[in-house]
Copies of this chain bind each other. A is one copy, B any other.
């Protein structure tokens, strides 16, 4: 299978969700709908602990009973929104970003199917940043108050949520190290290898994939300007480490890339 479609909205997982109705320009309640069950979901291995009993899974299905479609460029939530739920990406992809009062903004992460969104609201009850769809996407809605209640009953679920949050803390501290200590070249190499690893874990090609974000968004994530991102892609291409054709990336020499 060709992994260039990894994040495309015609991906099998996206197709499994009901077709998104065309949205009128007028703002209204975001479209939600009943979802297929967790127990039947292809992404379950990424969202949920493996050791749940059939009985636990049934409870879980009663909790996560709706999905939401978000069109490319639209926000799943914005900074300051009241925190109600966390989300699991079911299809598509997102960026999360924080903004400083002076308008300076920074991308804190990119999320692909099976990954969580919305943890930034747990601390204060308000989301700390925006989550923007990079393409037409679908998320599962997990109401946090009910999840908390269920965690008091289902020990593996409780443990899994702690682990998920703990892993996010570790991911962020790695990103701080990247931003604090690496050169532009190393940051871009690390970024590509990280994406590659995540695609591979989901059964897509580790070598070739399609970026859904712009050079500017990558730069904003890696703490550099879009021109620098572009120059590093060109440099890796000259050195035969990566073949970059616009948004299509083929990693030619992952070992050399890791040594950069």
Enumerate chain A interface residues (CB-CB to B < 8 A).
98, 100, 104-106, 108, 119-124, 128-129, 148, 151-153, 155, 158-159, 161-170, 172-177, 179-182, 220-223
Q: Which residues on the B side are within 8 Å of A153 (C-beta)?
A: 152
Q: A165-B165, A166-B119, A176-B176 are in contact. Are A100 and B148 (CB under 8 A)?
A: no
Q: A165-B166, A180-B179 are in contact. Are A173 and B121 (CB under 8 A)?
A: no
Choice from B108, B128, B176 contacting A106 with Cβ under 8 Å: B176
- 4 A-B pairs with the lowest CB-CB distances in the bound complex, closest first: A122-B166, A123-B166, A180-B223, A123-B167
Judged by DSSP, the binding face of A is helix
14 CB contacts below 8 A, A to B, read: A104-B177, A106-B176, A106-B180, A119-B169, A122-B162, A122-B163, A123-B166, A123-B167, A124-B163, A152-B155, A161-B162, A165-B165, A180-B220, A180-B223
